[in-house]
Amino acid sequence: MEKDLDETLPIVSIVMPTYNRVELLEKSIQSVFDQTFENWELIIVDDGSTDATQERMTALDAKEKRIRYMRIPRIENKGIAGYLNIGIKNARGKYIARIDDDDYWCHKDKLRLQLDFLEKNTEYVLVGGGGILVDEKGVEKFRYLKNETDDEIRNYALFSNPIAHTAIMFRKDVFDRIGGYGDFDHAEDMDLALRLGKVGKLYNMKEYFIAYLAIGQNKSFLQQRQNTKKVLEVIKKHKNEYPHFTKAYLLNLTQYAYSFLPGFLRKSLQPFMYYFKRNHF
């Protein structure tokens, strides 16, 4: 397959935002280097880290031609969606993959499998996969797979994010056509998937592609209330395009109410909440 592709440009552009997580960041980067597919570029978008990120990533950029380090001063009122759009605007690949600085790919054939799928199935615009929740020592808490087929994804799309964001690959030309990430920080991934689903098919492989930090350490837990509020906005935005709006809205409204519980209660209940939503929707 790769012999038929233009070797002068990367086929896949991987976009990774980061801020003050240099130790975790380097583990994420290593998981990209460990991929069996090698025709990629990694664009690291740093919104003004104050730790050792700039020093280490500048050195890595100079040494490794596939690394592109972009340091962008923190801009007021520009959230992660804005920085992701900057990274993807500068991407040269036909396909875009996403990874965060506190995640790592746990399947060495992740890029190869997804690229093969999109090359062979032109009606699909996005392909994802499953995830593994781990603690800070890398010990697995639980794993989950998302709904697989386009019909299954659409049927449950409003209940919960139909994709694991850092397990995806999508077509850059379609992303550009729909205008990139919208103004839905904390739920930009769900909104993107639903908008891409309006112009093409979605698919989740039955493979575990991504490992990410357990509750209490990751950004999703710390920003839970904002996340859930934005999800409710996304659900309302797409209520006429995907089924079961009322049930999905009530489920997420319950989760929004849960976000007002004291932190120690949320932390104790969060494993169940994660497991329930990811294994049922």
Amino acid 77: pLDDT? 63
Query: Are 93 and 12 contacting, i.e. CB atoms less than 8 angstroms apart?
Result: yes
Amino acid 206: pLDDT? 98
Q: Would you list the domain boundaries of the chain? A: 2-214
Strands (E), the chain: 12-18, 40-46, 67-71, 95-98, 103-105, 124-134, 140-144, 169-171, 201-213
Amino acid 5: pLDDT? 46
Could you tell me which residue, 94 or 281, shows the higher pLDDT?
94
Q: How confident is the model at residue 270 (pLDDT cuts 50, 70, 90)?
A: low
Query: What does the pLDDT look like over 122-171, one tens digit per residue?
Result: 999 999 999 999 988 889 988 999 999 999 999 999 999 999 999 999 99
Amino acid 268: pLDDT? 65
CATH topology of domain 2-214: Spore Coat Polysaccharide Biosynthesis Protein SpsA; Chain A (3.90.550)
Amino acid 167: pLDDT? 98
Query: What does the pLDDT look like over 183-203, one tens digit per residue?
Result: 888 899 999 999 999 999 999
Question: Which range has the worst mean pLDDT, 83-97, 98-112, 261-275?
Answer: 261-275
Report how far residue 248's alpha carbon sits from residue 243's, in angstroms, rounded to the nearest whole number.
9
Amino acid 118: pLDDT? 98
